[in-house]
Amino acid sequence: MDTALCLRLARGRGKAPHASMVAQTEHLPYADQTIDLDPEVKDAWGMPAPRMTYDRQRPNERARVDFMLEKMEEIGRAMGAKQGWRAPLGQGAPGAHHEGGTRMGSDPKTSVVNRYGQSWDIPNLFAMGSSTFPTMGEGFNPTLTIQALAYMSADAIVNRYRKSPGPLISV
């Protein structure tokens, strides 16, 4: 969840009169937060539309936002801010680094894809990207991990799957 703080800094030579800070917080991967097909809402072609069940107001997530806002205010005071305003929290979906939806795992009962991003149910379907992460862990930018997993998956597709189509992992 993005949080923002606006500051009024002391005027003076070389100092900007205003500044702003933004922070992102990590959300835990709760089992009841899901993406499924809505039984009532249809898309333009009459197919069931995706439905996201998500609660950004859980106590842990609110506590993380409050912690980050307090830290940003502390940083602002250390920068010489004379005044600070907390921006309103957004009403929508999670923050900028989206993850989840096609959880990676070693058990088809609790995950959508195996470690190669290969669907447990459809062997010729591979999912690449951060949708396979249940969470970002430490909150670092996921780009290099996405690239590493994509490389590993592409290598398995080229050197194993193409030679012998089917599941790359037996359970």
Half-sphere exposure of residue 162: CA atoms within 13 angstroms, side-chain side: 7
Specify whether 97 is catalytic. Answer: yes
Q: Which of 18, 27, 97, 98 is catalytic?
A: 97
Half-sphere exposure of residue 166: CA atoms within 13 angstroms, side-chain side: 5
User: Tens place of pLDDT for every residue, the chain, 171 residues?
Assistant: 556 666 665 555 665 677 788 887 777 778 888 888 999 999 999 999 999 888 878 898 889 888 988 999 999 888 888 888 888 776 655 555 667 788 899 999 989 999 999 999 999 999 998 888 877 666 667 788 889 999 999 999 999 999 999 999 998
Looking at the whole model, is its pTM more than 0.85?
no
Q: Domain residues of the chain, as ranges?
A: 2-86, 97-171
Half-sphere exposure of residue 48: CA atoms within 13 angstroms, side-chain side: 9
